[in-house]
Amino acid sequence: MLTADRVIALALIGLSGYFMLHASALPIGWHGESGGPGGGAFPFWLSAIMALCAGGILIRSFWQDETFVPFFDPETIRAVISVTAALFLTIGLIPYAGAYVAIVLFLLWYLKVFGGHGWVLTGALTVGTPLFLFFFFEVALKILLPKGWTEPLFLPLYAIFF
């Protein structure tokens, strides 16, 4: 637990430094251009405060006793990692295979493989969800979802519904 606390504090300090680096591209002082702080002042000094506080947490952690509660539960962390990986893969697939293919694959994996549900439920949801998305978002709200390679298949549908 303490190790995780320290790692996160260090990561936050790193993040603050990164923000400060980018923020200093604009004036960070008072009276930057015309009265008041410059454009980079807010992000720069707020990041600085963030770094200081994270430093405080880091230093404080050396005074604390190790609690021996592991940060990650080894039993469940695998589930969390696999869902995260599936989520990132799905988003990565969207620009190429389109939202409809990516989401159907994601649901298939999640319900059948990860959730261990039967084919009836899996089938119903993998068919129902894209249908709902198409009619709710595209037909009703006129918000187009990315299609990628599947775009030509949707042209006849557009001709019918728009």
Partner 1 sequence: MEILSLLSDGFAASLSPFNLMIVLIGVTAGLFIGAMPGLGSVNGVAIVLPLTFVVPPSTAIILLAAIYYGAMYGGAVSSVLLGIPGASTAVATTFDGRPMAQQGKAGLALIAAAVASFVGGTISVVLFALFAVPLADLALAFGPAEEFALVLLAFTTFVGLGGDDILKTIIMICLGLVLSTVGLDLISGQPRLIFGDLPGFYSGISFLVLAIGVYGVGEVLHTIESSKSAPLVTPAKLTFRELGAGLREMNRLWKTMSFGSFLGFFVGMLPAAGATPASLMAYGLAKTTSKSPETFGKGNIEGVAAPETANNAASTGSLLPMLTLGIPGSPTTALLLGGMVMWGLMPGPMLFIEQPDFVWGLISSLYTANFAAVAINLALIPLFVWALRMPFTVLCALVLVLCIVGGFAPSQKLHDVWLIAGFGVAGYLLRKASYPLAPLVLALVLGPLMESSFRQTLIAEQGNVLAFFERPLSATFMGFAILFFLLPHLKRVRWRARKSGVAPAE
Partner 2 sequence: MIHSMTRRAFAAAGAAALAASVGLAPAQAEDWAPNKPIEMVIMAGQGGGADRLARLFQSIIQKQNLAAMPVLPVNKGGGSGAEALRYMSDNAGESHKIMATLNSYYTTPLRTDIGVDIEEFTPIARMALDTFVLWVNADSEIQTLDDWVAAVRAAGGEWKMGGTGTGQEDSLVTAMLEDTFGIEITYVPFKGGGDVAKNLVGGHIDSTVNNPSEQMGFYQAGKSRPIVAFTPDRLAAFPDTPTATELGHEIVYWMQRSFVGPKDMPAEAVAYYTAMFEALSQSEEWQTYTQEKALMADFLTGDDLQAYFLEERAKHAQILELMGEGSS
Q: Which residues bind partner 2 (CB under 8 A)?
A: 34-35, 97-98, 100-101, 104-105, 126-127, 130-131, 134, 142-144, 148-155, 157-159, 162
Residues 54-83 that bind partner 1 (CB under 8 A): 54, 56-57, 60, 71, 73, 75-77, 79-80, 83
Residue closer to partner 2 by CB (options 113, 153) is 153
Interacting partner of 149 out of partner 1, partner 2, none (Cβ under 5 to 8 A depending on kind): partner 2
Who's near 29: CB < 8 A, 6+ residues apart? Answer: 37, 38, 41
Query: Residue 110 to residues 8, 52, 54, 85: CA-CA distances in angstroms?
Result: 30, 42, 37, 12
**What is the residue type of 65?**
D
Alpha helices in the chain (DSSP H): 2-23, 41-61, 74-108, 119-133, 151-161
Angle between helices 41-61 and 2-23 (to 10 degrees): 160
Q: Which residues bind partner 1 (CB under 8 A)?
A: 4-5, 8, 12, 15, 19, 22-23, 25-26, 30-40, 42-43, 46-47, 49-50, 53-54, 56-57, 60, 71, 73, 75-77, 79-80, 83-84, 87-88, 90-91, 94-95, 99, 103, 106-107, 110-111, 114-117, 121, 125, 129, 133, 136-137, 140-146
